[in-house]
Structure 1
Amino acid sequence: MEALVVDDHPVVRAAVAMLLRKAGFLHIHEASTGSEVLPKIREHKPDLVVLDLVMPGLDGLDVLARIRASGMKCRVLVFTSQEPLHYQDRCMRAGAEAYVSKTNNLDHLQKAMGAVMAGYSYFVKLPSSSVALNALQRTEAQMIERLSDRELTIFQCLSQGMSNKDIGKRLNLSHKTISTYKVRLIEKLHVKSGVFLRDIAKRNHVI
């Protein structure tokens, strides 16, 4: 069996590769950027892709969309530090078979690998919004849910204090484009200015 590990951190790639070898994968390929993924899938035809969501250039959501659009058949396990509350459903809809948070121990990743290769999915149970969230958070969560994948990524970056220039560099977009997204986010999330984006992000576990 063959696998492709996609993560921009070499230590993470090494840890994932170790688990894959234990799971019986004989050939393990690696990629550190989203733009490398589709060419490597075409070349190696991996049985499993272990994919991070946060990478330079194309992020994981972009990669999932392109895999689906290409019609290539491969199982994708998302292994990321992103909060599942806002990202798991998006990944599921985009075609991922599993979602594992990096905050969990590696046993979860190992179980997810086994489940996916056996033909099952592996997702965490998310809290019911009606029980876990108050009225304000439910409204904000609904607004966040309506953001596009790219808007959500930029929202998170802005909330973490990244400059427009740094976000543009990471996503291969111009400073002007990021400014346009920022204005759009302020309108869509109904805040007075970009200063308040961080408050919504923290309240709703985006950061």
Structure 2
Amino acid sequence: MKSALIVDDHPAVRTAVRIVLEAERFKVIHETSNGNEVMSLIREHRPKLVVLDLRLPLLDGLEVLSRIHASDLDCRVMIFSAQDPLHYQGRCLSHGAMAYVCKDQPMQQLQKAVQAVMSGYSYFSSLPELNPAHATEKQLIDQLSDRELSIFEQLAHGKTNTAIAEDMHLSHKTVSTYKTRMMKKLGVAATVHLRDFAKRNHLI
């Protein structure tokens, strides 16, 4: 019996994904909006497929994906996210994801990805060629750890260190340390410039 787990904090998205999975004859479909619950749900229900968002409360999708990849759990993971694949697809691939589908694509793309993954194939977007300036900035972004990238995005959206610390269950000091490292790697001198850097590279 085909079973799946949908991990997304938006009820409407979970409903849309469920419709696609039901069309692909998944009989048992579990859902959660919380990254912290994923590992225990996989161990309890043993789903054949996990459809995972990257932006989740408490524990983000990249960390969840990394934990699944490091475990002995036998399930296939595909990413369904609004995040630009330019900066996330490679990270997800290295953490064991078998597919990456953007939420701004037609739902038929998600269905095709499900079919590919369940047949044992991967399903990833072909990425655009970058001009030299953007290529250089992408190389800087690629140097960031997963957590530094997450904090970079949140700062670019205008969140404070305190708010980020609360959302990620980290201390204020830890977030400040990640922020300092991240800005040094990007060569950005002031927080005010992070938003422009993020916009140029389609991170916000």
In structure 1, list runs of 5 or more residues that go unmatched. none
Match of 1:82 in 2: 83
Match of 2:166 in 1: 169
Match of 1:54 in 2: 55
Letter of the structure 1 residue corresponding to residue 84 of structure 2: E
Aligned pairs for 1:63-102 within 5 A: 63-102=64-103
Matches of 2:72 and 2:8, distance apart in 1: 23
Match of 1:154 among 135, 151, 158: 151
Deviation at 1:176, TM superposition (A): 2.0
Match of 1:21 in 2: 22
Number of residue-to-residue matches in the alignment: 203
In structure 2, list runs of 5 or more residues that go unmatched. none
Q: Deviations over 1:48-70 (max 9, x none)?
A: 00000000111110011101111
- Determine if contact 1:164/1:179 at 8 Å carries over to the other structure: yes
| TM-score between the two structures when normalised by the length of structure 2 | 0.96
Query: Does 1:143 find its partner at 2:144?
Result: no
Match of 2:118 in 1: 117
SS of residue paired to 1:57: coil
Matches of 2:114 and 2:186, distance apart in 1: 37
Query: Does 1:187 find its partner at 2:188?
Result: no
Matches of 2:166 and 2:58, distance apart in 1: 8
SS of residue paired to 1:201: helix
Question: In angstroms, what is the RMSD of aligned CA positions?
Answer: 1.0
Match of 2:6 in 1: 5
| TM-score between the two structures when normalised by the length of structure 1 | 0.95
SS of residue paired to 1:30: strand
- Determine if contact 1:182/1:194 at 8 Å carries over to the other structure: no
Structure 1 consecutive aligned stretches of length 4 or more whose deviation exceeds 4 Å:
none
SS of residue paired to 2:5: strand
Deviation at 1:200, TM superposition (A): 1.1
Letter of the structure 2 residue corresponding to residue 195 of structure 1: V
Q: Deviations over 1:102-154 (max 9, x none)?
A: 011111111111111111111000013xxx32x33222111100100111111
- Determine if contact 1:61/1:149 at 8 Å carries over to the other structure: yes
